[in-house]
Amino acid sequence: MQLSQPRPDPAQQRMSREEVIRESQRWLDLLSSPTLNEYQKRRVVQDTVDNFDDYFNRGFVDYRKSVTESDGYAAVEWAGRGDVIEDILGRRYLDCLGGFGIYSCGIRHPKIISAVRAQLERMPMSSQELLDPLRGALAQLLGEITPGDLQKCFFINNGTDAVEGAMKLARLYTGRSGFISCLGGFHGKSYGSLSLMGKAEYRVPFEPLLQDVYFVPFGDAGAVENELKKAQQVGFDVAAVMAEPVQGEAGAVVPPDDYWPRLREICSHYEVLLIADEVQTGLGRTGALWGVDHWDVAPDILCVGKAIGGGVMPLSAFISTPEIWKVLEKNPSIHSTTFGGNPLACAAGIAAINVVLEEDLPAKAAETGAYLLAEFEKLRQLFPDVWLEVRGKGLLIGLEFVDSEFGYAVAAGLFKRGVLVSGTLINAKTLRIEPALDFSRERCDEVLAKLKDTLTDLT
């Protein structure tokens, strides 16, 4: 089938104004068209690859399994529902990646979609002067469901924004500057959050980052205490300790049971703030509403992102106690943003909280997670030379293979069998299993069978 004419090199020849209008209209027509013919579909595939190549970032085209493992036609996503994603050519993928944790409620949960649609028809973005009711309503709901005295929050759009805000709040409140973070920790890639990143590869090209960050092994509360003792002795200022309840990007690393309770005690003793980065673990992912709930700990600041937007809108927040929040209330414009807490995002957040609680998704994640962990472990024992470990909590599960090449081969084999998984950002040997929290038993068994098939093929 003859697709579009070869395109001129954009570095040599720019589109005219008329051509830009025509091209944008063509995409608007495709978007609103209920069905596409075969030519249109294949042209979308070709245009998408070319556009990524010429105008976005060729690197993504080179490494994505959806391009490299796709039998001649890149998998271009077109629609999704629940835990199934369909590409434009109609191939279906069982989603065990969950958009890196955003699809806890599944893709296009009807209640979340209808909340956002209703708000879209009324007022999509805030005037920035009149008070927007959904911002207040979502703040109330979050304040009511977060642990301990956590009550007041600020909304932004990404996990990294939540971490930046938490870091600024910790400095503002304590008047101190330093942070303690964990090896293998992942908190985002803007300058503040990157400074807390526990992996050299992402940090080194951007140094110097914040200088007063001290790294300790994850899960070792004694190491945190030692660092605070040293800091006290030599007069270093530490504002806060930052950790994930279960490390996500390090490959679903679960700390010992006494870790979080001890962190709480130590932080209180040394009068530094304890920040829980729940961007990936929050809203049920680990089988409890909050990761810290497993250990009944209330942090001083909590960051939430990803799933709070219901898989429909970008949304994140940092939340703290009324006492700590006073420093922000003295001067509310000291930390502000244009789009954070916009009405569409808040509508999605309100609906996401409703769905997570009403459908009891944390309990479902706990039950399905326990089943999957046990079944993965049984399967691992058939392939002990190449598959090193199964770990995780709830539906934040890591499968660690012998090296990153083998890990990639497993992910590619699953992709060819219609199952989406991905490596983790800090630990490429480890594949993440992070599906919607209501992932059914039948779906689990389908994934297990396809994984067995893949491993049999590879070994």
Ligand X SMILES: Cc1ncc(COP(=O)(O)O)c(C=O)c1O
Do 224 and 263 meet the contact criterion of CB atoms below 8 Å apart? yes
CA distance 431 to 447: 13
Give the nearer residue to ligand X in terms of CB position, either 430 or 454.
430
* Structural tokens at position 357: 């609680």
CB of 336 to ligand X, least distance (A): 18
CB of 133 to ligand X, least distance (A): 26
CB of 271 to ligand X, least distance (A): 25
Give the nearer residue to ligand X in terms of CB position, either 75 or 308.
308
* Structural tokens at position 63: 């490494």
Residue 384 backbone dihedrals phi, psi, to 5 degrees: -65, -20
| Positions of E strands within 17-169 | 77-81, 84-87, 92-95, 152-156
CA distance 117 to 330: 36
CA distance 365 to 403: 28
Give the nearer residue to ligand X in terms of CB position, either 244 or 293.
244
CB of 231 to ligand X, least distance (A): 24
CB of 174 to ligand X, least distance (A): 21
Do 359 and 438 meet the contact criterion of CB atoms below 8 Å apart? yes
22-40: burial string, b at 16+ Cβ within 10 Å, e else? eeeeeeeeeeeeeeeeeee
Give the nearer residue to ligand X in terms of CB position, either 82 or 305.
305
Give the nearer residue to ligand X in terms of CB position, either 227 or 434.
434
CB of 278 to ligand X, least distance (A): 7
What is the secondary structure of 43-58 as a DSSP string? HHHHHHHHHIIIII-H
- Where along the sequence are the contacts to ligand X (CB under 6 A)? 100, 158-160, 163, 186-188, 244, 248-249, 277, 279-280, 305
Q: Burial of 108 by CB count in 10 Å (0-12 exposed, 13-18 middle, 19+ buried)? A: middle
Q: What's the maximum distance between 2 C-alpha atoms anywhere in the chain?
A: 74
CB of 311 to ligand X, least distance (A): 13
Query: In the complex, which residue's CB is closest to ligand X?
Result: 159
Helices in 123-205 by DSSP H: which ranges?
133-145, 159-174, 191-195, 200-203
